[in-house]
Amino acid sequence: MLTRAVVNHLFYSGKFRLLVLALLAASMSGCASTTTGGVVGVKRSQFLALPASYVGNMSKQAYAQTLSAAQKKQTLNADPILVDRVRKISNRLIAQVGVFRADATQWQWEVNVEKSDQLNAYCMPGGKIMVYSGLIEKLNATDDELAAVIGHEIAHALREHGRERMSQAYVQQFGLQAIAAVLTRGTSTVAGNASMQAASMGSKLFFALPNSREQERESDRIGLELAARAGYDPAAAVSLWEKMEAQGGAKQPEFLSTHPASANRIAELRELSPTVMPLYEAAKAAK
């Protein structure tokens, strides 16, 4: 029977290492999709090399650090009325996530609000939501508009866009060896260093890497369906992005730096609204 030390030695040496890396590359090139399509039909295959647990742990740590920093500044959940409003909207959306993936109903969802002038919001892998008060106050956002933006962010988490971006970045930055080190917990110096460097970039990669246009389209579509199923008007997605663009001026809002709006995007949302309108009407009738 081979010991772990012997296996690690074999893995990180000679032809066997090359063979394992080749097999790893082949496995990562396979098709995978994190969600079912819903009525909006999101079905793209994704590149998800990093384990979900690995990305989830980094997300928890980064989110905990964010909460701790906000608490020290006394900006975390400073307005109880606003926090209650955001959580009620978020919880209605979260109640619908099983439509796209059943396991998400068991995630440890967290919803918090930070007092900040930034027009920003995000949902980290595993369901860690943060909404900045500036997004609500500067836009004078309605509940329907808040549902549109929070639903969009939840969709990013459901589709594991953060994990997808990190997987691509790890391979580009460190090569397959770093991925192999994560998957096998390898102990070679080279692989170990690459893995540690990559891990240290985890939260930075999540916040710094922009979503691709296709990822944005997917989140627009899924977010629109989540909101409609939760009883929020799909038309609010259009008015939300129009308000966001109007805030641009000389300085682009933080949200638009990673979620670029455009006339095409708004047109696509308007075109998709009739598809989810029956879901909205059914949800309203059920109340």
pLDDT (tens digit, 9 = 90+) per residue, 250-267? 455 656 656 666 788 899
Share of the chain above pLDDT 70, in %: 71
| Sheet with 128-132, side-by-side order of all strands | 110-114, 128-132, 121-124
pLDDT at residue number 32? 73
What mean pLDDT comes out for the span 80-86?
A: 98
| 115 band by pLDDT with thresholds 50, 70 and 90 | very high
What pTM, to 2 d.p., does this model score? 0.82
Q: Which is more confidently placed, 49 or 170?
A: 49
In a domain, 25, yes or no: no
What mean pLDDT comes out for the span 47-60?
A: 86
pLDDT at residue number 8? 46
What mean pLDDT comes out for the span 51-59?
A: 86
The mean pLDDT of the chain is 82
The domain total for the chain is: 1
Q: Which is more confidently placed, 21 or 245?
A: 245
The domain in which residue 250 lies consists of 52-161+210-286
For the segment 166-200, what is each residue's pLDDT rounded down to a tens digit? 888 777 766 666 666 666 665 445 445 545 555 55
In a domain, 11, yes or no: no
Q: Is the pLDDT of residue 70 over 90?
A: yes
pLDDT at residue number 205? 57
In a domain, 171, yes or no: no
Q: Which long-range contacts (CB under 8 A, 24 or more apart) does 88-95 make?
A: 89/143, 89/146, 89/147, 89/150, 89/232, 90/129, 90/150, 90/154, 92/147, 92/230, 92/231, 92/232, 93/147, 93/150, 93/151, 93/154, 93/226, 93/227, 93/230, 94/127, 94/154, 95/230
Q: Which of 110, 114, 145, 153 is catalytic?
A: 153
Question: Can 271 be counted among the known catalytic residues?
Answer: no
Q: Is the pLDDT of residue 275 over 60?
A: yes
For the segment 4-46, what is each residue's pLDDT rounded down to a tens digit? 444 344 344 444 454 445 445 544 444 578 999 999 999 899 9
In a domain, 173, yes or no: no
For the segment 213-244, what is each residue's pLDDT rounded down to a tens digit? 899 999 999 999 999 999 999 999 999 999 98
In a domain, 205, yes or no: no
In a domain, 99, yes or no: yes
In a domain, 231, yes or no: yes
pLDDT at residue number 102? 97
pLDDT at residue number 204? 59
In a domain, 260, yes or no: yes
